[in-house]
Structure 1
């Protein structure tokens, strides 16, 4: 938060102007008073002489005194009017000062405090609460998926949602509590409470979550949102914290609420800051790794269950981090999607994989997973075809896997993309089938070439009737639609025996070996006589060994 006092410069400017005007008030009023004294001192003789002259006795009034008398009257009238004008000017300036202060300290949309004024107000409440033997709770509230409301319904709808949310939040605050709008869709509640009664803050957080989640009417629309809340207190860890500290801690706790599913609240813990710092280091490392080629393809075998033959590989991403070692995609893929580098990362991996797969036997296929983020790119199909052309890799040997959940983001774009890829000879598989919400109509309307059963149903097959029923049903569905099926997660012989009961599949899993890097994959293929260019594979292996030796020496 800014340490500058709200409207400080404006206030100084206005105060100076008022001081100058006040000095002019004194001068003007003094002039009027002096004119009135002079009028009284000279007026009686001038008036008496004038009356006597009109009655026919006495002399006419002295011209100089008469002129002075008239001038005094004019000066009094003019001075009094000027004095009233100056008083009015001071009043207007004070009103302007108050308006400037309000504008500097409040959010124009919601009418609550703004980020600039939240800091001083929080520090003041902390001091006042401390004097009473109380502490202050700081709640950071962020509207979940607010951007979607703006994108779908326009900024007017978004503004209406913000105003209604702030109104509901303000109504729930206890006496002495303050509400501030910290950012676009972020609010902060500053609430004094008795240190031993933290449950009152818990109830307040739950109440705020509940009331904000109620629908908001906007014209013919019904808008809905939820909030994620991060909470901390001014005596956290036994220290007395400033407004800046509370904002930082509550923001970290709010991030944890977002991470854990939204529409909930979390209290700040010191471990959260370490986790957030690690997350920041990961983001930096991922960006660097994409630029320097630290992400490499690994390959998992795919086996024809009927014959036991090796028929292809699925490419899986790994991060060879110089500081963290080899990192699995479960950790870095979600972060890469959030920070907007997943497309660049994926395309670089596919380019490497196509070069590796060119040395394999032409009967072996290569399949890759496509991020839902990439499917939002209307040029994705063209980018993929460009990679195939540059690598001179046959499209018939290439298969992309699309997760079931991604179909619902933009079904029209996905249908167009799949059709474009299939027209070029690329095969398209529906990945993680059974975990999303695909309907039979989608399976019939979208030209998929294969269904892939999610590993969550496969690893629990032995002894689990529900998983067995699901796998059996998907197998029957695939047979009825003429779609071959791939099963992932085959890790032991018991699972394999169960699968043999339901049909013929292409399978993959740890039973056939863990995913391996390119050089080790080439070694195994060479032993099976499934490598076209053994010398190239050996050279690749030697280069890999040399790199490892250099790294070890370093």
Structure 2
């Protein structure tokens, strides 16, 4: 673009020079026309009146040629003027294209920086401040994926119109790329509620349905607010602060706005540090399996373990999954992490008593991988762990994106003998439909219901209903989050098959679980169990 503008300016300069030269020639021709024309006209008039001889033929020819020169010069002058105008208009269009987003007509990132800097200077001169609102559309990718990019572009155009209608006429509007927008506006520092009202109206409007290319689409938005009088004195600092606040709004559940504060920046830095560490930790085997006991409530016997992930950080010590699993999911590292955990857990459990099972939870993003079943089966084969001892847990929310693909993955796993459990049952929106759609072998009740069954009658009623449903469908039920004996006793009385939770002990490391199983003589090849200890393979196991 820069070389094009340079060439255009060179062409304009040459055009102006040619126009000036043509003008000089035309003026000289006109002066010559006046001089010759007066003589010829006098001679012609005298000839007509009979007072003089015929006009000088040479002068007449010179006059005609001079007239032609004037006409040619004028046309050339007019042509050059038109070319210069065209070049000027093209350069103006180029400047607009360089400064504006062609889809929405908003400023682009570069022109926002220029205009925003001027806005901040002017606002400070008048004792005002500038607020920058960074806005990102939630679920916009789904619109593109489901309806195509033409619909996505139409939606962006409509959103831009709504933004223009809601924000002040003096505001700067920019599209920064994709589905991200920025709005800068001047406000009185003592009345930030004016900015909040604008943000609130934007969030509320963008949560309503839109018509784009004849398609009714639903999105929402997450917005971050930053103000120039709170340390962000440049437009670049405002954009960074607004972006951090927008990320915090997304993390808090989307469809909302948040003001920037310094704690957000500290949290973001900590998250980035964890992300960088995670990229090293997974291939280096620092993310390891821990094992939570699963107990048969009727016999109080150990039947298996749920595999959990822990990060054994070389400096920070043990890091829980709530801190790094969301990062792994956001960055796409969850698939590698999950398979690494499975490989380690399968290898550790190979020589356990054959009656002990492993339950592994699958991330929603993994169910978008058409090769997931093959990857799990390959890991089972490489480690020598029997497929019949593996139970894959699928959360209900994971089934919403692509149920057909989930059914294909589930079918492939079932064909190899792997069992399936529907995890966090009761927290989704169409649990019964999903129970019919996939060949589940077990239901797991979400711990949010289990932990309060002795205090909240509604929780107890829900748990009872789920257990009765499992019985009618011949699907045994496992309850998560059993924290004390009273909850365990209540679940057993209700007819729940299995339970897990801290009442039975905290999750164990590979060494810890091996010690536990060795003490109970549940490792193949270990010393035989005493005659008064019933082998787990002969015990009744619910489900």
Same fold, TM-score > 0.5, yes or no:
yes
> Relative to structure 1, is the Cα distance of residues 514 and 465 closer, same or farther in structure 2, using a 3 angstrom cutoff?
same
Match of 2:251 in 1: 259
Answer yes or no: is the 8 Å Cα contact 1:169–1:212 preserved in 2: no
Cα distance in 2 for partners of 1:147, 1:62 equals 85
Q: How far did residue 106 of structure 1 move? A: 1.2
Match of 1:103 in 2: 97
Task: Using the TM superposition, name which of 272-281 and 206-215 deviates more.
Answer: 206-215
Match of 1:310 in 2: 302
Cα distance in 2 for partners of 1:265, 1:442 equals 34
Aligned: 1:462 with 2:454: yes
Cα distance in 2 for partners of 1:69, 1:411 equals 90
2:85 aligns with one of 85, 91, 95 = 91
Q: How far did residue 213 of structure 1 move? A: 2.6
Aligned: 1:353 with 2:345: yes
Partner secondary structure for residue 522 of structure 2: coil
Aligned-residue Cα RMSD (Å) equals 2.1
2:497 aligns with one of 497, 505, 525 = 505
Match of 2:240 in 1: 248
Cα distance in 2 for partners of 1:440, 1:125 equals 56
Mapping of residues 25-424 of structure 1, within 5 Å: 25-53=19-47, 58-62=52-56, 64-237=58-231, 241-424=233-416
Q: How far did residue 367 of structure 1 move? A: 1.5
Answer yes or no: is the 8 Å Cα contact 2:397–2:428 preserved in 1: yes
Answer yes or no: is the 8 Å Cα contact 1:11–1:101 preserved in 2: no
Q: Which runs of 5+ in 2 are unaligned?
A: 528-543
> Relative to structure 1, is the Cα distance of residues 63 and 534 closer, same or farther in structure 2, using a 3 angstrom cutoff?
farther
Partner secondary structure for residue 447 of structure 1: coil
Q: How far did residue 62 of structure 1 move? A: 4.4
Q: How far did residue 532 of structure 1 move? A: 1.9
Q: How far did residue 289 of structure 1 move? A: 1.3
Partner secondary structure for residue 393 of structure 2: strand
Partner secondary structure for residue 306 of structure 2: strand
Aligned: 1:426 with 2:414: no
What number of residue pairs does the alignment pair up? 527
Q: How far did residue 410 of structure 1 move? A: 2.4
Q: How far did residue 65 of structure 1 move? A: 3.8
Q: How far did residue 47 of structure 1 move? A: 3.1
Cα distance in 2 for partners of 1:192, 1:256 equals 23
Task: Using the TM superposition, name which of 173-182 and 210-219 deviates more.
Answer: 210-219
Q: How far did residue 437 of structure 1 move? A: 2.7
Match of 1:541 in 2: none
Partner secondary structure for residue 332 of structure 2: coil
Task: Using the TM superposition, name which of 149-158 and 69-78 deviates more.
Answer: 69-78
Partner secondary structure for residue 191 of structure 1: strand
> Relative to structure 1, is the Cα distance of residues 398 and 203 closer, same or farther in structure 2, using a 3 angstrom cutoff?
same
Answer yes or no: is the 8 Å Cα contact 1:490–1:508 preserved in 2: yes
Q: How far did residue 219 of structure 1 move? A: 4.8
CA deviation string 1:480-521 (max 9, x = no partner): 222222122122122222223212522222122111111121
Cα distance in 1 for partners of 2:79, 2:134 equals 48
TM-score, length basis structure 2: 0.92
Q: How far did residue 390 of structure 1 move? A: 1.5
TM-score, length basis structure 1: 0.90
Partner secondary structure for residue 113 of structure 1: coil
